[in-house]
Amino acid sequence: MVLSGPSGAGKGTLRPYLTKAFPDLTFCASATTRPPRAGEVHGRHYYFMSVEEFQQHIEKGELLEWANVYGHFYGTPRRPVMDALAKGRVVLLEKDMQGALSLQKTFPEGVFIFILPPSLDELKRRLMGRGTETPEALQRRLATAVSEIRSAGRYGYAVLNDDLKEAARRLVAIITAERCRVSRQNAAWLDALVGKGESKEA
């Protein structure tokens, strides 16, 4: 499951609501060369690393995708995602549009959700509230937001984050519905329910 959308749309803020609602959901942190913000923890929010380390990960094929976002490298470490999927866990990722579209090709069965801010003014207010962006960086994030919002049609779902709890409820509903898809059900439990072989009704 990939949450995407402009920086400041609220992907990171929505995450705890989902991990609380679905205990079998695993958030896989990205690797990045961006410096940590106050309160960000290595291994939990991101794997922070140097450009050299990041390049080694690329060369060794250890990233499922990577992109240069706002002047820093971000990428999806392959191992944690594949290990969690192999254990039958639901993997939650947060990516920019480049990352989401690339992952769509690798995992066409994935659920790709675009988080929309209520307005560009609100987006600007949230980004300024972080207090971490220079005026140039802020402008860059806002310009990218406009072009990403224009391309929201490339996602399976769009969720407006005007009210955090309501947006979280919408995400929980999407995951719940997706899990009920017949194509995602394990045939074994259907067999366990009614048994294999001929119907005895006739």
Using CB under 6 A, pick the residue from 26, 49, 75, 123 that binds ligand 5GP.
75
Least gap, CB of 24 to ligand 5GP (angstroms): 22
- Contacting range for ligand 5GP; rule: CB under 6 A; set: 74-82, 106-114, 154-162, 185-193: 74-82
Strands annotated E in 102-142? 112-116
Using CB under 6 A, pick the residue from 99, 111, 126, 178 that binds ligand 5GP.
99
Least gap, CB of 110 to ligand 5GP (angstroms): 14
Least gap, CB of 192 to ligand 5GP (angstroms): 38
161 binds ligand 5GP (CB under 6 A): no
Give the residues across from 27 on adjacent strands. 92
155 binds ligand 5GP (CB under 6 A): no
67 binds ligand 5GP (CB under 6 A): yes
Concatenating the DSSP letter of every residue in 19-77 gives: HHH-TTEEE-PEEE-SPPPTT--BTTTEEE--HHHHHHHHHTT-EEEEEEETTEEEEEE
Residue 172: other Cβ atoms inside 10 A: 15
Which two three-digit tokens encode residue 28?
């896989």
Q: How many residues in the chain?
A: 202
Q: Rounded to an integer, what distance in angstroms lies between the CA atom of residue 21 and that of residue 134?
A: 36
Q: Which is nearer to ligand 5GP, 30 or 161 (CB)?
A: 30
Q: Which is nearer to ligand 5GP, 137 or 172 (CB)?
A: 137
Q: Rounded to an integer, what distance in angstroms lies between the CA atom of residue 197 and that of residue 195?
A: 7
Site for ligand 5GP, residues 22 to 41, rule: CB under 6 A:
30, 34
User: Total number of residues binding ligand 5GP (CB under 6 A)?
Assistant: 15
Least gap, CB of 69 to ligand 5GP (angstroms): 4
Residue 156 DSSP code: S
Tell me, what amino acid is at 55? Answer: Q
CB 80 within 8 A of CB 43: no
Least gap, CB of 11 to ligand 5GP (angstroms): 6
CB 118 within 8 A of CB 53: no
81 binds ligand 5GP (CB under 6 A): no
95 binds ligand 5GP (CB under 6 A): yes
Residue 39 DSSP code: T
